[in-house]
Amino acid sequence: MDFSKSSLAIKRWIYTSLILLFFIILIFGFIQLQVSNKDVYVLKSLNNSIRKSQLYAVRGLIFDSKGKIVVDNRPSFSLAIIPRVAKPYTIKDICNRFHLDYTKVKQELKKTFGFRPIVVARDISQESVIWLEENRLNLPGIINVIEPKRYYAPGVKSPHIFGYVGEVTQNEQKQNPEYEQGDLIGKKGLEKKYDMRLRGSKGVKFLTVDASGRELGKLDINRDIPPVHGNDLQLCLDYEQQAFAESLMTEINGALVAVDTKTGGILALVSKPDYDPRNLSGKISSDVWSQLLNNENHPLYDRALQNGYPPGSTFKMVPATAALQENIITPNWKASCPGYFRLGRKVIHCWNLKGHGTLNLTQAIKYSCNVYFLQLGLKIGLETWSKYSELYGFGRKTGIDLPGENKGLVPSVEYFDKRYGKNGWTKGNLANLAIGQGELLITPLQIAQYAMIIANKGTYYTPHLVKHFYDYKTQSFENYPIIEKRVNEISTEVYDVIRNGMKEVVEGGTGWLGKVPGIEMAGKTGTAENPHGEPHAWFMAFAPYDDPEIAISVIIENGGHGGATAAPIARKFLEKYFFGHLIPRVFAKPDSNTVEEKKDSLILPMDIINIQPLKIIPQKEIHNQ
């Protein structure tokens, strides 16, 4: 046997097998590359020459009840960087030119490494846009993008209703995975509450690019995905009336809330002081933001639904309701008011130091006698008082479609035991609560809801600002759900007594300055003691008496007596609501034959009264565009 030939044959077989194996692997690789994974590699290839660019959706518009546009959009240019394409030296040059913090920009770009543009500067000037376009070829990865910026019609403010839009934070991204880096989202007010509806859906356009990442033009317009316009909101309020309500509260710290008693729709919602929402639209100046944050009057704070106040005498209908419904007293039960009430060693004075004499319940409500209700509060006890406070909606949120609502505080036995210890609190605590003082905290919105419950004899509706939505995708309207509720534990007969007492308040009682001529109505004043200064002035009312349409609450911080300062403001708004104008007044003092002519104490600047008309566009015309 020739071993050399055999060894050679084995070597040839091995080499041939290796070559065949190599070609098999090579063929298998080609199959994988060009057949099995064709789509993957074609996409990777296309990504080198084709770029997806986001198209921002137009944010939904906000209309008032008459179809006036109150919040619109205008185009705004922003500077953006494409991390995958932009060169480090180019980014540094851009930061120097636009006065950007290079370190912060690098940190933002490190959060993603792709072709999605990252906005690094908003609201850039027209000159900057022109410069970017002129130098486009020399600035690979540096682009300008058009974003919608909120625009407010002339005469429009109401920042606590509308809120503002700002760039999403990392925490907000974690809470909602739909948010992407650089997105503009609602931060407060309706913008925040309905952000997912207002923001719409982004679109995509496909662009061709060269090896350096420079844009060469559109790929195929038929492949583009158009953005979807955000939902429009139409509100329940007429903005002319809203602006008038704001003018009534000029240079006042306080709030005004008016609600439709038949639907729960908000007719006016004012918190003062406030700020111009235009200052927080687009690029926000650090100086402006610092001024707002450090302002001692807290203009960012919504007093109408976030601030809790002692309600004072506006709360006296609660112990009255409890005493009547529980058969503790009858409407004819009387108490004597010598001008003070002695509780142990403590003497509590009535606001009328001369005393009211002997009164029944209706008279006690009419003249807001503290002594009467101090005695009544002791008769009903804390548990019963807490029960009926909660029946009227206090101590819980109303459910209004705005974020940040405060539920207030209704003390209970458990609350006092926890705060003062078992048996550590006294009858004095209860006496204070009966006249709307002490630990009790209420929002102006809750007082307006309370007035609505009494007006409708137990029926009320969840307060809401939005009347309906318009969906551009389905091209259809969606009405806001009207949620009806009922306080069944209080009888109609009890409401009749309470309502009659409130009618007497404006018919010669403490709220006579809140009376609207020609309109039968009911109301209640309140003067809430304030340890930090002058008392807070309250007034609540509903009208017309027999068929209520509107309930209103007004608070003026450190305003003194509610009947003197808050009631006239409510009256002016109601006059505007019912008649469209203010009514010249001749003031007749109650229980007197004298007539005193005087002008209203609130003088309105002409530039506030003459509110500029808003742009009116029929919604059908808008939605068909």
CATH classification at residue 359: 3.40.710.10
CA dist 302 and 190 (Å) reads 13
Closest to 248 measured CA to CA, from 465, 556, 524: 556
Return the higher-pLDDT residue of 230 and 204: 230
CA dist 395 and 298 (Å) reads 24
In which domain, by residue range, is 374 found?
307-397+409-442
In single-letter form, the type of residue at position 78 comes to S
Chain-centre distance for alpha carbon 513? 31
Average the pLDDT over each of 213-222, 464-473, 496-505 and give the range with the smallest value: 213-222
Whole-number pLDDT of residue 80: 84
Instruction: Note whether 470 and 231 are within 8 A (CB).
Output: yes
CA dist 5 and 545 (Å) reads 121
Share of the chain above pLDDT 90, in %: 52
- Residue 489 forms part of a structural domain: no
Number of structural domains (the chain) is: 1
pLDDT-derived band at 525 (thresholds 50, 70, 90) equals very high
Q: Would the pLDDT of 315 be above 60?
A: yes
Whole-number pLDDT of residue 214: 58
Q: Locate 273 and state its tokens.
A: 């002081």
- Residue 327 forms part of a structural domain: yes
- Residue 625 forms part of a structural domain: no
Whole-number pLDDT of residue 152: 92
- Residue 371 forms part of a structural domain: yes
- Residue 427 forms part of a structural domain: yes
- Residue 234 forms part of a structural domain: no
Average the pLDDT over each of 112-126, 330-344, 370-384, 590-604 and give the range with the smallest value: 590-604
Closest to 382 measured CA to CA, from 469, 313, 293, 322: 322
- Residue 33 forms part of a structural domain: no
Chain-centre distance for alpha carbon 156? 16
- Residue 162 forms part of a structural domain: no
Q: pTM score, two decimals? A: 0.82
